[in-house]
């Protein structure tokens, strides 16, 4: 039993570590790369990392989908304690709702960024950020 | 009840998306409808503000979900003041840009859609009582900001916009990280609930969340290391949008930062941090402003500097300090748009948009030049205009708290400001006009918008009592954290009983 529990917590830590790793990769891409397209890709990766982290904090070991219906109670009486006990076995729904919103926002930002990249390319005929500096950085 | 705070978000958002449909009916509706909507919201905001001052804060629950579970909008004397100010500025900007894009129909449609979205986002940031909701509004505001910055195809606007987008979206990810951290520790997203439970959070997580918040919100508030976008955006965006950034967007950013520091967490030393970061912002921005040869970049750096001063005043932390900061915010929100609006007519036909090209325009564009000079006098803080009283209140607040360094800095910075603003005014009035520059007479609605701003600046200058009582009320509300928590969470208790 202990062995199984250890494995599950390892998976959970794995999610955390990989989410932070993805965030780091995204930050690297957005801040260090010189190509406009790679910067946009970096931003996308950064967003995915944050979304993964957001989903991970909602994780409950062996949790079910957070949909409550009276049928779940089976023969138990409808008391506050029973409902709470059922809720403890469910995944937290709030971060999932937040992630949906964050994904949509990320989509919008990426679309605007790519539109700007197209305009920059038409204006300067290059995607290298060092060659686009009419404005002082 | 004249209306509910939810209308401030719902109506402009709905109108923004309906504008393309209005365009099918009559093309002129594209320009008229946003003005009507903003005017209606301004009247609503003023009347709600009056009601709030008489009867206390309004807490609006969305869809009947009581806080801390649902999203709530808070219309208090503090947020009401800011939303009224923002809607007023939005109305002035609408009036100014009514004929601005007369040539083409398609750009004006997009312009007004994005302007309405910008206003929605800014007012949402101020009114909401939920941190994730605030994040969404910040994204609405900044995405429409990216679009508006890249409005002119001919200039280097795409470059400025892309720079703003990269910084803006990285910082918004930090904001999301801060929200995740708080949610994982406290299990709530409601600001009042977070404020009441903040002592349960481990101190190291609290500091980390605060750092993420400052990284995430500092970009809109233009604090020192995060304001690299501002000069480019202000100089490449259309003139009225520069005014909208300095009058509306930055105020929303400052509000969000102040809400986090004053209400969400009371981490020891965060006020001192505000003073230090504000002073660094102020010094660096004013030093950069004096070196600029493009007028809008100069105004942008001056705007950053003023925001630094606002943060210093908030960092004093006493009632007087908050009062001074709010006075400075209101007065800056009136003066800087006036400078941007008149300045963008002064450089309307010039190619470089540089200060040299303003030479001798005083004779050819008398009203615009006069308004620019008035704005310059007001912002450096010479009596008897509103900027003087704002700086004076900062000085008295600093003196009463024994912060002599702040006093010395504000006085020294005022001299720097006088140097670079009066250099421009001097060129406008006392230099010989260059042959290549063709003066541009403003349209009648633009003149009207600028004159309204100028009249208000002069009126506040002669009768500061016009607004001081409101500002006192607002600063009282901001400092009274217990009352804020109680106002919101008492709604929840009524429901459970």
Residue-wise DSSP of B77-131: HHHHHHHHHHHHHHHHHHHHTTTTT-S-HHHHHHHHHHHHHHHHHHHHHHHB-BH
Q: Looking at residue B456, what is its pLDDT?
A: 92
Q: Could you tell me what percent of chain B has a pLDDT over 70? A: 97
DSSP state of B260: I
- The yes-or-no verdict on residue B137 having pLDDT over 90 is yes
Half-sphere exposure of A77 (CA within 13 A, CB side): 3
Cβ of A31 within 8 Å of Cβ of B132? The answer is no
Is B163 at the interface with chain A, CB within 8 A? Answer: yes
What digits encode the pLDDT tens for the residues B443-479? 888 888 999 999 999 999 898 888 888 888 888 888 8
Chain A nearest CA to B304, separation (Å): 16
Secondary structure class of A98 (helix, strand, coil): helix
Half-sphere exposure of B131 (CA within 13 A, CB side): 30
Band (B360; pLDDT cuts 50, 70, 90): confident
Cβ of B162 within 8 Å of Cβ of A43? The answer is no
- The yes-or-no verdict on residue A1 having pLDDT over 50 is no
What digits encode the pLDDT tens for the residues B197-210? 888 888 888 889 99
Chain A nearest CA to B232, separation (Å): 7
What digits encode the pLDDT tens for the residues B221-242? 888 888 888 888 888 888 889 8
Q: What is the pTM of this model?
A: 0.92
Taking residues B279-302, what's their average pLDDT?
A: 89
Secondary structure class of B354 (helix, strand, coil): strand
Chain B nearest CA to A102, separation (Å): 8
For residue B294, the cross-strand partners are B354
Contacts of B166 in chain A (CB under 8 A): 30, 39, 43, 113
Contacts of B158 in chain A (CB under 8 A): 116, 119-120, 123
More confident of the two residues B3 and B387? B387
A20, closest residue in chain B (CA to CA):
B177
* Cis amide leading into A112 (omega within 30): no
Alpha carbon of residue B233 to chain centroid: 15
Contacts of A123 in chain B (CB under 8 A): 156, 158
- Of B223, B244, B221, B208, which is closest to residue B116 (Cα–Cα)? B244
Task: State residue B206 phi and psi, 5-degree precision.
Answer: -65, -45
What digits encode the pLDDT tens for the residues B147-171? 999 888 777 888 889 999 999 999 9
What digits encode the pLDDT tens for the residues B381-395? 888 888 889 899 999
Q: How many CB pairs under 8 A join A and B?
A: 81
- The yes-or-no verdict on residue B497 having pLDDT over 50 is no
What digits encode the pLDDT tens for the residues B238-285? 888 989 999 899 999 999 999 898 888 877 788 888 889 999 999 999
The listed range with the strongest mean pLDDT (B66-75, B111-120, B199-208) is: B111-120
What digits encode the pLDDT tens for the residues B35-55? 999 999 999 999 999 898 888
Here the tokens at position B48 are 């709600």
ipTM of the complex as predicted? 0.87
Multiple choice CATH, A2-57+92-131, 3.40.640.10, 3.40.50.300, 1.10.287.3510, 3.40.630.30: 1.10.287.3510
Chain A nearest CA to B365, separation (Å): 29
Closest partner residue to A119 (CB to CB) among B158, B169, B179 is: B158
- The yes-or-no verdict on residue A75 having pLDDT over 50 is yes
Contacts of A98 in chain B (CB under 8 A): 132, 179, 183
Cβ of B162 within 8 Å of Cβ of A108? The answer is no
**3-class DSSP string for chain B:** CCCCCCHHHHHHHHHHHHHHHHHHHCCCHHHHHHHHHHHHHHHHHHHHHHHHHHHCCEEEEHHHCCCCCCCEEEECHHHHHHHHHHHHHHHHHHHHCCCCCCCCHHHHHHHHHHHHHHHHHHHHHHHECEHHHHHHHHHHHHHHHHHHHCCCCCCCHHHHHHHHHHHHHHHHHHHHHHHHHHHHHHCCCEHHHHHHHHHHCCHHHHHHHHHHHHHHHHHHHCCHHHCCHHHHHHHHCCHHHHHHHHHHHHHHHHHHHHHHHHHHCCCCCHHHHHHHHHHHHHHHHHHHHHHCCEHHHHHHHHHHHHHHHHHHHHHHCCHHHHHHHHHHHHHHHHHHHHHHHHHHHHCCCCCCCEHHHHCCCCCCCHHHHHHHHHHHHHHHCCCCCHHHHHHHHHHHHHHHCCCHHHHHHHHHHHHHHHHHHHHHHHHHHHCCCCCCCCCCCCCHHHHHHHHHHHHHHHHHHHCCHHHHHHHHHHHHHHHCHHHHHHHHHHHHHHHHC
- The yes-or-no verdict on residue B417 having pLDDT over 50 is yes
Closest partner residue to A116 (CB to CB) among B161, B180, B183 is: B161
Band (A111; pLDDT cuts 50, 70, 90): very high
Contact B15, B93 (CB under 8 A): no
Average pLDDT, chain B: 87
Bridging pattern class, strands B72-75 and B58-61: antiparallel
Closest partner residue to B170 (CB to CB) among A30, A123, A134 is: A30
Band (B84; pLDDT cuts 50, 70, 90): very high
Residue reference for tokens 């949610």: B183
Cβ of B146 within 8 Å of Cβ of A112? The answer is yes
Chain A nearest CA to B173, separation (Å): 7
Distances, alpha carbon B430 to alpha carbons B99, B236, B361, B423, in Å:
31, 28, 9, 10
Taking residues B180-208, what's their average pLDDT?
A: 86
Is B382 at the interface with chain A, CB within 8 A? Answer: no
Q: Looking at residue B427, what is its pLDDT?
A: 87
B87-96, B302-311, B424-433: segment of lowest average pLDDT: B424-433
Closest partner residue to A116 (CB to CB) among B136, B162, B189 is: B162
- Of A52, A64, A62, which is closest to residue A17 (Cα–Cα)? A52
Band (B101; pLDDT cuts 50, 70, 90): low
Chain B nearest CA to A111, separation (Å): 10
Here the tokens at position B268 are 């020891």
Cβ of A50 within 8 Å of Cβ of B153? The answer is no
Contacts of B162 in chain A (CB under 8 A): 36, 113, 116-117, 120
User: Apex CA B385: angle with CA B379 and CA B386, to 5°?
Assistant: 70
Chain A nearest CA to B76, separation (Å): 27
């Amino acid at each position: 039993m202990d062995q199984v529990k250890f494995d599950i917590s390892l998976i959970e830590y794995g999610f955390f570590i990989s989410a932070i790793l993805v965030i780091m990769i995204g930050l690297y891409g957005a801040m260090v790369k010189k190509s406009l397209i790679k910067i946009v890709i970096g931003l996308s990766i950064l967003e995915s990392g944050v979304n993964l982290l957001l989903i991970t904090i909602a994780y409950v070991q062996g949790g079910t989908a957070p949909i409550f219906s009276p049928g779940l109670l089976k023969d138990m009486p409808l008391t506050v304690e029973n409902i709470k006990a059922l809720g403890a076995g469910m995944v937290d729904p709030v971060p999932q709702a937040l992630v949906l919103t964050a994904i949509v926002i990320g989509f919008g930002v990426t679309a605007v960024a790519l539109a700007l990249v197209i305009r920059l390319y038409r204006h300067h005929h290059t995607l290298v950020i060092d060659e686009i500096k009419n404005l002082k950085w | 009840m004249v209306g509910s705070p939810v209308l401030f978000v719902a109506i402009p958002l709905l109108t923004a998306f309906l504008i393309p449909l209005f365009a099918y009916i009559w093309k002129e509706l594209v320009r008229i409808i946003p003005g009507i909507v903003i005017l209606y919201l301004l009247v609503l905001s003023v009347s709600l503000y009056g009601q709030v001052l008489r009867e206390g804060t309004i807490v609006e629950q969305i869809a009947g979900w009581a806080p801390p579970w649902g999203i709530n909008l808070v219309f208090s004397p503090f947020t009401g003041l800011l939303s009224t100010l923002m809607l007023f500025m939005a109305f002035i900007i609408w009036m100014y840009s009514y004929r601005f894009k007369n040539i083409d129909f398609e750009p004006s449609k997009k312009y007004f859609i994005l302007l309405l979205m910008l206003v929605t986002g800014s007012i949402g940031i101020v009114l909401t009582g939920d941190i994730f909701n605030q994040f969404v509004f910040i994204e609405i505001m900044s995405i429409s900001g990216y679009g508006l910055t890249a409005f002119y195809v001919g200039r280097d606007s795409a470059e400025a916009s892309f720079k703003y987008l990269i910084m803006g979206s990285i910082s918004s990810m930090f904001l999301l990280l801060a929200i995740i951290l708080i949610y994982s520790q406290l299990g709530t997203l409601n600001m009042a609930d977070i404020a009441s439970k903040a002592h349960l959070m481990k101190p190291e997580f609290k500091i980390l969340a605060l750092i993420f918040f400052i990284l995430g919100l500092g970009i809109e508030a233009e604090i020192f290391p995060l304001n690299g976008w501002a000069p480019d955006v202000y100089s490449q965006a259309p003139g009225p949008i520069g005014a909208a950034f300095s009058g509306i967007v930055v105020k929303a950013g400052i509000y969000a930062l102040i809400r986090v520091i004053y209400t969400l967490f009371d981490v020891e030393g965060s006020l001192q941090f505000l003073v230090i970061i504000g002073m660094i912002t102020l010094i660096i921005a004013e030093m950069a402003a004096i070196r600029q040869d493009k007028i809008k970049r100069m105004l942008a750096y001056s705007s950053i500097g003023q925001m630094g001063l606002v943060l210093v005043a908030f960092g004093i932390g006493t009632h007087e300090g908050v009062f001074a900061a709010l006075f400075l915010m209101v007065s800056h929100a009136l003066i800087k748009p006036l400078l941007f609006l008149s300045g963008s007519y002064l450089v309307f036909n010039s190619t470089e948009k540089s200060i040299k090209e303003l030479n001798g325009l005083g004779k050819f564009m008398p009203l615009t030049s006069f308004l620019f000079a008035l704005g310059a006098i007001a912002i450096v803080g010479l009596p008897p205009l509103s900027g003087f009283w704002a700086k004076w209140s900062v000085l008295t607040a600093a003196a009463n708290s024994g912060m002599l360094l702040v006093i010395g800095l504000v006085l020294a910075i005022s001299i720097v400001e006088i140097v670079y603003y009066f250099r421009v005014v001097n060129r406008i009035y006392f230099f010989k006009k260059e042959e290549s520059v063709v003066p541009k007479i403003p349209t009648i609605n633009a003149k009207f918008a600028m004159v309204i701003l100028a009249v208000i600046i002069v009126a506040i200058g002669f009768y500061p009592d016009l607004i001081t009582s409101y500002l006192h009320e607002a600063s009282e509300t901001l400092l009274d954290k217990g009352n804020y928590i109680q106002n919101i969470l008492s709604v929840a208790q009524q429901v459970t009983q």
